[in-house]
């Protein structure tokens, strides 16, 4: 799968100015099947920047996205494009068709509740299925 020098904000959002291809990282086929990967070509590794998703995703962590998994499942973590800002966040559907954007570090980053007319401006880029970083 491809690996890109793209950073997803684990905070308030980040505009992307460059997108450089990096050497790929290998993953076992049986492990990928267990994560219900849609297809190998949909996988991409990008990087998190910021502290809003700590402790699960830390600043500088690599995250593996399945760009074929764009349908929101409550509580899962996704890469999103919101107004041109790329972010990594936990998502939850509202009963009225709106969306709640959640950070794991919710003391510092409170939930964002979007009504349906604003939620339609969110583009889900893919679901995060793995993260790698320092211990």
Domain that includes residue 92, residue range: 2-132
pLDDT in tens, 40-92: 889 999 999 999 999 999 999 999 999 999 999 999 999 999 888 899 999 99
Which domain CATH number covers 79? 2.10.109.10
- SS3 category, 121: coil
Instruction: Report d(CA 32, CA 35) in Å as an integer.
Output: 5
pLDDT in tens, 101-134: 999 999 999 999 999 999 889 999 999 999 998 8
Structure tokens at 89: 């966040």
- Neighbour tally for 3: CB within 10 Å: 18
Nearest to 102 by CA among 78, 122, 121: 78
Beta bridge partners of 114: 99
Q: How many domains are contained in the chain? A: 1
């Amino acid at each position: 799968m491809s690996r890109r020098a793209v950073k997803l904000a684990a905070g308030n959002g980040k505009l992307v100015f460059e997108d450089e291809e990096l050497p790929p990282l290998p993953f076992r086929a049986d492990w990928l099947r267990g994560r219900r990967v849609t297809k190998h070509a949909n996988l991409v590794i990008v990087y998190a920047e910021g502290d809003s998703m700590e402790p699960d995703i830390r600043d500088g962590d690599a995250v593996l996205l399945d760009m074929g998994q764009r349908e929101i499942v409550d509580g899962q973590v996704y890469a999103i494009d919101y107004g041109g800002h790329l972010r990594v966040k936990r998502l939850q559907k509202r009963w009225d068709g709106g969306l709640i954007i959640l950070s794991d570090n919710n003391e510092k980053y409170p939930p964002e509740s979007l009504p349906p007319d604003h939620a339609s401006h969110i583009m889900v880029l893919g679901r995060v299925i793995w993260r790698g970083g320092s211990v």
